[in-house]
Structure 1
Amino acid sequence: MNIYLVGGAVRDRLLGKPVHERDYVVVGATPQQMLALGYRQVGKDFPVFLHPQTQAEYALARTERKTGQGYTGFAIAADPSVTLEQDLMRRDLTINAIAQSDSGELIDPYHGRADLQQRVLRHVSPAFVEDPLRVLRVARFAARFAADGFTVAPETMELMRTIADQGELATLSAERVWRETEKALSSATPAVFWQVLSDVHALTPWFSELQPASIIKLTRHYLSQLDTPDPLIAFCLSLYPLNPERAQQLCERLKVPNSYRQLALKLCRAQLSASSTWNADAAFAYMGQFDLWRQPEQLTNLLKVWQCVGIKEPVLAAFQRSFEAAQKLSAAAVIEAAKAESQALQGPQIGATLQSARHAKVINEWQLASG
């Protein structure tokens, strides 16, 4: 039995990047041997085991044979006769098909180190086309490593285009598509994800609303203004050029989590831009439209999005100052102020009076901020 460190941990170490997770492949072992050593089996489709102390994943070396459509249509063979080279061959990219032994020796049968040096994302074998999820994975890696100068090899782009043109992407589940999308949007250059998908005809069927050239161009422009990785903001900016109906269609198809969906759809409904009218009354209306009184934590997210779509800094500063001042007003303070004037507020009167006071505060602070 031989154990090798594989995949991202080897790749990132060679790139001089922090290693956060370590995955291992075990050659020459049976499930019974692993269990006898105290490993706990967790994989149902193929044998994956957790180390008894570190909880790192150890997978038996395996081969895969295409038997049906989609990313689940594979027959898995994991037995002691499967070699390390066979296991590495089933991986997506050469840079992810490098293994390291306990002694530190690198096993690189598919020239992943050369592709790391040349900054190329290249498929390992023609079997790449058998798994449509790899189209999204490669686009995600392109976004993740674009800042390091990586690009997708032309021949790999062609295989990705073949997968998309054959309609294989439709066999994926919404959950898997969203998972890859969220990871891509967490990268420093999420615009690259959309551009690669567009170049290989892979915006259909999951992201067809982004397909028009004018939309994808605007999306890329907005995303290029984002200076720190933030998947929520990147998602909102990706959908920002869409009308609310098309944005909602995309969200429903992808089963986007509510934490992403709600803010993105509110922004699409508002459709605010650098040319929008901004004054105290409009700002107060936006505060209500985005439910900031109940969700003040969304203020930071709104300001990030609006900054990326071109709304000027003085307007954003005035909006923030006005909201924060009005937010300090409370129902209790409104009731006490009414009592001081011999008024007794009850029920809906309290809320209406509070909103009136907030409106007045926003107008006052906006005028002060505007000079």
Structure 2
Amino acid sequence: MKNYLVGGAVRDKLLGYPYVERDWVVVGATAEQLINLGYQPVGKDFPVFLHPKTKEEYALARTERKSGPGYTGFDCYASPEVTLEEDLQRRDLTINAIAEDDDGTLIDPYGGQQDLDKGILRHVSPAFEEDPLRILRVARFSARYAHLGFTLADETLLLMKKISASDELLALPAERVWKEMHRSLSERSPDIFFVTLQQCDALKKLMPELDESFHTIIEPLKQAAISGLPDVICFAILFAHIDTVETENFCQRMKAPREFRDLAILVSRFSISCKDDFSSPDQLLTLLESLDPFRRPERFGLFLQSVQLLYNNDRAINQMKKSLRACKSIDAASLAREGLKGKEIAEALRSRRIEAMTPIFIDGDRQ
């Protein structure tokens, strides 16, 4: 039995790129041997185990054969007879098919080091096209390493187009699509994720809403990443020029977390209102009431950051911030102490908030 470090840890170590997780492949062993050594089996589809102390993943060397649609349609064969080279051959990209033994020697049967040096993302074998999830993984790696000058090999792009032309992409579970998309939003160049999907014709299959608005989303997304904005904003600004119903449907289909969904819907519905200066306190108060910054101040802050990135209208942003402060000075409880009730409180609250906001529109940014 022999263990080899594989995958991302080897790749990023060679690139001098930060990494956290380490994955291992075990050659010449059986599941029973690992269990007897205290390894804990995880998952149902693949022979993967957690190390009893480090909790790192150790997978038995295996081969795979396509047996059905989608990324789960594989028969997996794990045996002590499966070689390291056979295990590496089933991997997606050559840069992910490098192993390292315990003395630091690299095993690189498919030219991964050469592709790392040249900055090329290239598939290992024709079996690449059997797994549609690899399109999303390659797009994510493109987003991860674009700033290092990595490009996609022509022959790999052709295979990705071939996958996109089939119905294989439609077999991918929404959770897996979301996972790759979400991870890409935190990469150095998240815009390249969508550029790559568009180049291989996968964007119109998986995310037709974003394909239709493709040319409006790339530059804001690039700027968001340069500015170090969080992934929830990177996601929301994708929908600034997309119909709100389509945005809701997209988020539901992808099963996006509530935080992402809520901000995306707000940006879709209301961001265009902030492109120009507000003309009256009544107009702005109506918007603030819809955005509900009184109960959701953190979400409102994210909305302001999104709008600032999209339209760079400092005056409108200042109007919103100052108006919110003015509105917060009006206390509904104090109106109740004045003897007002029910609808009277709501009407007085709105009237006094508009009154408090009015000087902002008279004196402008001097307030």
TM-score interval, normalised by the smaller of the two chains: over 0.9
How far apart, CA to CA, are the structure 1 residues paired with 2:244 and 2:158?
A: 34
Q: CA deviation at 1:14?
A: 1.3
TM-superposition CA deviations, 1:178-219 (whole Å, max 9, x none): 11111112222211111111111101322112223xx21111
Shift in alpha-carbon separation, 1:198–1:350, aligned structure 2, 3 A: same
How far apart, CA to CA, are the structure 1 residues paired with 2:33 and 2:251?
A: 46
Residue range with higher mean Cα deviation, 358-367 or 88-97:
358-367
Q: CA deviation at 1:284?
A: 2.0
The yes-or-no answer on 1:218 pairing with 2:219 is no
Partner of 2:126: 126
How far apart, CA to CA, are the structure 2 residues paired with 1:102 and 1:333?
A: 72
Partner of 2:47: 47
Q: CA deviation at 1:275?
A: 4.6
* Greater helix share, structure number: 2
Shift in alpha-carbon separation, 1:60–1:325, aligned structure 2, 3 A: farther
Amino acid in the other structure paired with 1:225: Q
Shift in alpha-carbon separation, 1:334–1:102, aligned structure 2, 3 A: farther
Residue range with higher mean Cα deviation, 264-273 or 235-244:
264-273
TM-superposition CA deviations, 1:94-123 (whole Å, max 9, x none): 111111111111111111111111111111
Amino acid in the other structure paired with 1:296: P
Partner of 1:166: 166
TM-score w.r.t. the length of structure 2 is 0.93
How far apart, CA to CA, are the structure 2 residues paired with 1:164 and 1:352?
A: 56
TM-superposition CA deviations, 1:313-368 (whole Å, max 9, x none): 23213322332443354433444xxx4xxx31334444443344333333334555
Q: CA deviation at 1:298?
A: 1.2
Partner of 2:32: 32
> Is the CA contact (8 Å cut-off) linking 1:188 and 1:228 kept in structure 2?
no
The yes-or-no answer on 1:297 pairing with 2:305 is no
Shift in alpha-carbon separation, 1:284–1:85, aligned structure 2, 3 A: same
Give the unaligned 5+ runs of structure 2.
Answer: none
TM-superposition CA deviations, 1:152-202 (whole Å, max 9, x none): 111111110000011210111111111111111222221111111111110
Shift in alpha-carbon separation, 1:331–1:169, aligned structure 2, 3 A: same
Shift in alpha-carbon separation, 1:36–1:220, aligned structure 2, 3 A: same
> Is the CA contact (8 Å cut-off) linking 1:321 and 1:369 kept in structure 2?
no
Aligned ranges for residues 1-371 of structure 1 at < 5 Å?
1-212=1-212, 215-226=213-224, 227-272=227-272, 275-279=275-279, 280-327=281-328, 329-335=330-336, 339=337, 343-365=338-360, 367=362, 369-371=364-366
How far apart, CA to CA, are the structure 2 residues paired with 1:353 and 1:32?
A: 74
Residue range with higher mean Cα deviation, 22-31 or 298-307:
298-307
Query: SS at 2:75's partner residue?
Result: strand
How far apart, CA to CA, are the structure 1 residues paired with 2:142 and 2:183?
A: 12
> Is the CA contact (8 Å cut-off) linking 1:26 and 1:60 kept in structure 2?
yes
TM-score w.r.t. the length of structure 1 is 0.92
How far apart, CA to CA, are the structure 2 residues paired with 1:345 and 1:245?
A: 39
Q: CA deviation at 1:249?
A: 2.9
How far apart, CA to CA, are the structure 1 residues paired with 2:235 and 2:10?
A: 30
Residue range with higher mean Cα deviation, 146-155 or 322-331:
322-331
Residue range with higher mean Cα deviation, 116-125 or 129-138:
116-125
> Is the CA contact (8 Å cut-off) linking 1:251 and 1:261 kept in structure 2?
yes
Shift in alpha-carbon separation, 1:38–1:368, aligned structure 2, 3 A: farther
> Is the CA contact (8 Å cut-off) linking 1:119 and 1:149 kept in structure 2?
yes
Superposed structure 1 runs of 4+ greater than 6 Å apart = none
> Is the CA contact (8 Å cut-off) linking 2:70 and 2:172 kept in structure 1?
yes
Shift in alpha-carbon separation, 1:195–1:232, aligned structure 2, 3 A: same
> Is the CA contact (8 Å cut-off) linking 1:223 and 1:308 kept in structure 2?
no
How far apart, CA to CA, are the structure 2 residues paired with 1:30 and 1:328?
A: 70
How far apart, CA to CA, are the structure 2 residues paired with 1:363 and 1:91?
A: 64
> Is the CA contact (8 Å cut-off) linking 1:137 and 1:180 kept in structure 2?
yes
